[in-house]
Amino acid sequence: MTFRIDRETLPCSPDEFARAVEAHASALVEYAAHLLGVEADAANQALKPHERRVAFPPPSAPPLVEAAVKAGGYELVGPSLEVRKQRLCAHVDEAEQIELAKVMPPRKERYWQMREQDIRTADHMCLSNHQDKIEPDHIEPWLKSVRPTEDTTFLAEQKRRRDTLSIIQRWAAKAHHDVDDLTEETIDGWKLEPFVG
């Protein structure tokens, strides 16, 4: 049975590993021939002790190389299609988080949410305290007229941020969808399209 090696466990390139296996196999062949010579010399009574070949320890190699030679061959395998898809999805997740953080920096997000809630609460109080009934389609224009300008500007910025977050999430969701459809034949050619907003 062919010795199967996960290509990601190789400590070197596949070509270097192949050369190491070949070199170790050749060294073992030479060593076996040397041991035959040692036996022949030991049986040859005409040779003086100092003329005889002597045994020495066998050549050694890293365990993976030795196992490949001992098995009589090896096959590089992996990673599986599913593992490769998981890695691509992790790359998409990382890219998504980077893009989201550009729009909604994590250290600012909580304060921005609190500020928006404060503005909404103040809007609600204004509406509750207003004497006259305001038609639903006139509520937002009326609130803009009584709310501080910087608060209205902030709410518009928050809406733009949320809209952009939604676009980023759709971009990442489409990338995950595309990764799920990849096959052994197509996965190596897939690249995450940069987010362009």
| Spatial distance between the Cα atoms of 7 and 78, rounded to a whole number of angstroms | 6
Residues 131 and 96 occupy one common structural domain: yes
DSSP-assigned beta bridge partners for residue 35: none
- Of the candidates 77, 93, 128, which is a domain's last residue? 77
Tell whether 26 is covered by a domain: yes
| Mean pLDDT in residue range 42-51 | 92
Which pLDDT value is given to residue 8?
A: 87
Domain range for residue 38?
3-77
60: nearest Cα among 24, 14, 17? 24
Show Cβ contacts of residue 23 under 8 Å, excluding neighbours closer than 6 positions. 61
In the block, tokens 């049975």 appear at 1
Residues 115 and 177 occupy one common structural domain: yes
Which pLDDT value is given to residue 105?
A: 97
Residues 45 and 98 occupy one common structural domain: no
Q: Is 170 helix (H, G, I), strand (E, B) or coil?
A: helix
Which pLDDT value is given to residue 5?
A: 93
Residues 63 and 93 occupy one common structural domain: no
- Of the candidates 56, 77, 98, which is a domain's last residue? 77
pTM above 0.85, yes or no: no
Tell whether 150 is covered by a domain: yes
Q: Is 11 helix (H, G, I), strand (E, B) or coil?
A: coil
Residues 47 and 101 occupy one common structural domain: no
Residues 105 and 16 occupy one common structural domain: no
Residue 135 banded pLDDT, cuts 50, 70, 90: confident
Q: What are phi and psi of 113, to 5 degrees?
A: -65, -40
Which pLDDT value is given to residue 40?
A: 94
Residues 158 and 106 occupy one common structural domain: yes
Residue 144 banded pLDDT, cuts 50, 70, 90: very high
Q: Is 36 helix (H, G, I), strand (E, B) or coil?
A: helix
Q: Mean of the per-residue pLDDT values for the chain?
A: 94
Is the per-residue pLDDT at 1 higher than 80?
no
| Spatial distance between the Cα atoms of 86 and 63, rounded to a whole number of angstroms | 30
Residues 52 and 93 occupy one common structural domain: no
| Mean pLDDT in residue range 55-75 | 95
What is the H or E stretch that residue 192 is in? none
Residues 123 and 178 occupy one common structural domain: yes
Which pLDDT value is given to residue 191?
A: 96
Residues 115 and 172 occupy one common structural domain: yes
Condensed to tens digits (0 to 9), the pLDDT of residues 145-159 reads: 999 999 999 999 999
Tell whether 56 is covered by a domain: yes
Domains held by the chain: number: 2
Residues 166 and 105 occupy one common structural domain: yes
Which pLDDT value is given to residue 2?
A: 80
Is the per-residue pLDDT at 86 higher than 90?
yes
